[in-house]
Every structure is written in structure tokens, then in C-alpha cells.
Amino acid sequence: MRPRLWNPEMELMSHSETRALQLVKLKSLLNRVYEQSPYYRDKFDRAGVNPQNLKSLEHYQDYPFFDKDEERASQEASRETARHTFGLHITCNPRSVNRVSSSSGTTGSPTYSGFTLKDREITNDNQARALVRLGIEPGDVVMHASVLSMWIAGIPGVDSMMAYGVCLVPVGALSGVERVAQIARDTRPKSIKCTVSFAQYLVKHMEERTGIDPATLGLEKVVVFGEPGGSIPQIYEPLEKSFGGAMVHDIMGATGCHSPTGISCEEHNGIHFYAEDNAMFEICDPESLQSLPIEDGVEGEIVFTGLERECGPLIRWRDKDIIQVTTEPCRCGRPGPRMLFKGRVDDMLLVKGVNVFPNAVRDVINKTSDLTTGNIRIVKSSPGPVVPAPVLVKVEVKAGLPDQKKQTLAGDLDNAIHHQLRFRATFKFIDEGEFELLKGATGKTRLVEEANQ
């Protein structure tokens, strides 16, 4: 039996049908922004492109990218000259915006995303696709335990889950482990949604602080996001065990489109991307930024275009994530290319001239030894991406590990990293419970620290 889908017409399209639909929607979008936005008209003119001439998706490669710096500048300008904060690149009346999201503002002033009613409806449709793939029916109890905020995983998630008709328990992550545990015990959610690190935090502290064993909550699904752990066996397997056999699913969004856009299945085989009809993506070479053919195994920087976005359409948005795409059918029977997060362009380190992602280092360490807990942090001695070898890595090890075993472990890890990532490393082992996780403003764990900070 094929697994059920929310919107089979869109989710089951063949590759060529998808491409044809994308071309139609893209033409409409590009013509709209060219006609309605002096900002885009000027930008396209300068790049020498005109939507009238777009005959195939290949022509789209000539269009200029959009990124956070440009978005911020465009929004600053619209605040000064147009009395709204959605940027000079918007094409809708700002009064048709119904809900505002913002970035966390950790790297400068916040940037804003507006959603019209139609934008909300597409988001709702995408959320429903995820929920149906999870086996969640209207009426099932779902606990929202990620931060309730303007951030894209906050209020927009609450909004779209209610629209689907779940029994939503919006407890939020900031309520703390005690309240999350008590309310989960009282309301018996079938599914909980939170960041990877909050799930780990619950596992670590719930029983000791509340007497409630997370395995007894009756959860069937733990939906995690925001960090790569949801697709890494060393991270999701202990979570599944601690939550009494609940299955961990990794959910992803797409900046500038209608998040969420993909969710992993019970095969834990990458994230099924189910939203190609509204969240068109390209994979670009991280150096040349040339668009690469979408073939099985292709890897590079993902670039998104929200195809029917009304407020603030972002044309060729550089999301700064490095993604590997799998196009082979999944054993689960569900459609959609699968995506594996490899790292952030901004987090990329340069060791002996080679690009290294912090979570690739974590992956190697996790796969090499089960004496570690999965928590690591790379120590840099200066700002910028260049890190001289040997690279110092702090590694949390399981409680009570004797010194002699630590020495052997250091050798094993150095060999594995040298073999797989081509650089030498040294290690500072930190005992379980002593390792302090560093968090960014949105709750994501930071894998790099600067010495003396």
C-alpha cells in the first residue's frame, strides 16, 4: 500500500511535469516582479535579463541571486522611503500582509518576511503534506515545543498546524522542561515538535527534574529541525530509544518559500522534499555558483525561489546551506527528491586549503567511537574560516571514561579525521555533564567557538 499523501496531484508529479509546471509559474512570477517592482526591473536590467525571453529553466541561470545582505539593505531602504519594512523588492500592497516573521537578528538588525493570506494558505498546504506523511490526522494532539516567536518555526508553525486541524498544544520551548513534561503527561500528544537540542535536553533532564520518564509519554513522533541531528543515526537513535520508541523525523524549511518543505520518513534516508511546485530549488557549485544538473548524489549550495510568493518574492535566494540530493526512489514509497544537509556555507572552515564543515567533523567522531556523546566543538584561534592544523576539538565523552581509554580514543579519532577529512586534529576531552552547549539565538547548537571568548 502506498503511503497516503495530502496533495497527490502535486506530490506525485514526474520530474518532467514538475519542471514544466515550474517553468509556467516561474515565468508568471518573473513577469510580475519585473512589471510591478522598479527594484526588480532595475536589477534584471542590470543583469541583462528580461522575463519575456525566458523560454526554458536553463535561461533562469542567468538571473542574479538574492541574499541576506541585499534583503537587509532593501528593507532599510523601504523603511526610509516607503514606510514599510518588507523591502523595495515587494510586489504586493503592504496592507495585504497578514503576518510578519523576522529573523533572530543575531547577525545585525532583524530582517522581515511578510505573508499575505495566500502565502499563509500555501504554507498551510505544505504543513499538511508533512503531517499526512507523519501519519498525523486532524484531531491528533500535537505539542509545539519550539520557541513561540516571530521566527519562521514559531507562530507560522502554530498557524499552519491549527489550519490542518490538529489539537494543538502550543507549550513553547521557553516554558522549560518541567512545564513541557507536565503538559505532555496531561495532554498525551501523539507528536512533539522541537529543535534537536531541545529534544536532547528533555531526554537529559526530564526524569531527574520531574520524575517523568520521557519514554512513558506515549509519543509516536518526535519532529526535529533547526540542526542536522534529525538525520544522523548517532543523534536520532538515542532520542528514539529515550522517547520510548517514538520515531524521530527531520523537518526542513526553505527561506523565502513556504516552509516546511520536506520531512524524513521511517527509512531515515534523507529529507523527502515535497514542495517542488511552490519551492523551486537549484543546486549550485559553492565556488563558481553555476547551477548543477539535479542528478543523484549532486551536492552544492541550495538556491530557492518561492514560486507563488506574494509578499517579498525572493528571486534565486542563496540559503547558504550545502545540500546533497538523492533522486533514487526511497524504500518507503513516498515521492520527492531527498536532501541531506551537509553544512552552512557561512560555517565552512578552511583547513589546509580544504573546505571542512563542523558537522562533518562531528559525524566522523560519532561514527568512529561510541565512547563519545555526540557533542563536539571546534576551537578556532582567530575569526574567519582559516584554521591551522592540527585543529583543536573539544569532545564530550561518556561519564567515567578512564584516562588510558581517552588516549586510545584520541588516536582513533585523529586517524579517522585524517583519513576522511584530510587534516590532523588534537582533542580536549570533556566529561559528560561538564560539556556546556553553546546556543545561538534560535536555539541552534554552535559547533565552533573562538578561543579566549
Q: Is 107 in the site for a second copy (CB under 8 A)?
A: no
334 three-class SS: coil
Which of 97/365 has CB closer to a second copy? Answer: 97
Q: Which stretch binds a second copy (CB under 8 A): 60-68, 141-149, 201-209, 401-409?
A: 141-149
Q: Find the binding residues for a second copy in span 35-74 (CB under 8 A).
A: none
Q: Is 385 in the site for a second copy (CB under 8 A)?
A: no
CA separation for the pair 212, 267 (Å, rounded):
29
Looking at this protein, which amino acid is placed at residue 336? G
In the set 31, 102, 107, 234, which binds a second copy (CB under 8 A)?
102
CA separation for the pair 79, 42 (Å, rounded):
19
3 alpha-carbon distance from chain centroid: 24
- Say how many residues make up the chain: 453
Q: Is 109 in the site for a second copy (CB under 8 A)?
A: yes
Which of 176/333 has CB closer to a second copy? Answer: 176
In the set 51, 87, 114, 312, which binds a second copy (CB under 8 A)?
114
Give CA angle at 225 (221, 229), nearest 5°. 90
197: nearest Cα among 170, 230, 169: 230
Q: Is 7 in the site for a second copy (CB under 8 A)?
A: no
Residue with cell 531526554: 203
For the CB of residue 167, give the shortest distance to a second copy in the complex, in Å. 5
Most distant CA atoms of the chain, gap in Å: 70
Relative to beta strand 372-380, strand 448-450 is: parallel
Asked if 369 and 414 count as a contact pair (C-beta separation under 8 A), the reply is no
Q: Is 443 in the site for a second copy (CB under 8 A)?
A: no
390: buried, middle or exposed (CB in 10 Å: 19+, 13-18, 0-12)?
Answer: middle
Q: Is 83 in the site for a second copy (CB under 8 A)?
A: yes
Q: Is 121 in the site for a second copy (CB under 8 A)?
A: no
Cross-strand partners of 376:
395
In the set 18, 98, 234, 324, which binds a second copy (CB under 8 A)?
98
In the set 57, 162, 294, 371, which binds a second copy (CB under 8 A)?
162
In the set 18, 61, 96, 324, which binds a second copy (CB under 8 A)?
96
In the set 157, 170, 312, 358, which binds a second copy (CB under 8 A)?
170
Residues engaged in binding a second copy (CB under 8 A): 75, 79, 83-85, 93-100, 102, 105, 109-110, 112, 114, 117, 120, 138-141, 148-150, 154-155, 158-159, 162, 165-172, 174-175, 179, 182-183, 186-188
